[in-house]
Amino acid sequence: MVLKLINEVNPHPETIEDLPEAPISMPKIGSTGKTGNWRTFIPIIDYDNCINCKLCWLYCPEGSIFIRESDDFPEIDYDYCKGCGVCAQVCPKKCIDMKRAGIELEG
């Protein structure tokens, strides 16, 4: 593995390959149970504009985004997402919309 030096890092990453090597936390069931009802905002992915760069999955601090086996695209686990908005902030296509909690989720 070749580690990137900090001055080689792309300050405007669009894919995982643009990022430096970093430790990534793996998601698991929280000790306090499901925590999704703590949030005020709900991230909604617009799959029509998603380019599957997986940056949302990489940066979610809660490990609440997983990669679907069916099509390899990210999906948000609303049982644990806390609505922090990090995924929407890092999305290069701005295709994650933060909606007020209380809306009906499809599916």
Q: Which residues bind ligand SF4 (CB under 6 A)?
A: 43, 45, 50-56, 60, 62, 64-65, 74, 76, 81-87, 91-93, 95-96
Residue 56, token pair as written in the block:
């949302």
Pick the closer one to ligand SF4 by CB: 7 or 31. Answer: 31
Is the distance from CB of 48 to CB of 54 less than 8 angstroms?
Answer: no
- Helices and strands, counts by H and E, the chain: 2, 4
DSSP letter assigned to residue 19: S
What number of CA atoms fall less than 13 Å from residue 90's CA on the CB side?
19
Instruction: Provide the minimum distance between the beta carbon of 57 and ligand SF4 in the complex, in angstroms, as a whole number.
Output: 7
Query: Which H helix or E strand runs over 57?
Result: helix 55-59
Instruction: Provide the minimum distance between the beta carbon of 67 and ligand SF4 in the complex, in angstroms, as a whole number.
Output: 9
Pick the closer one to ligand SF4 by CB: 4 or 46. Answer: 46
Pick the closer one to ligand SF4 by CB: 18 or 92. Answer: 92
Pick the closer one to ligand SF4 by CB: 4 or 79. Answer: 79
Instruction: Provide the minimum distance between the beta carbon of 20 and ligand SF4 in the complex, in angstroms, as a whole number.
Output: 17
What number of CA atoms fall less than 13 Å from residue 52's CA on the CB side?
6
Instruction: Provide the minimum distance between the beta carbon of 8 and ligand SF4 in the complex, in angstroms, as a whole number.
Output: 22
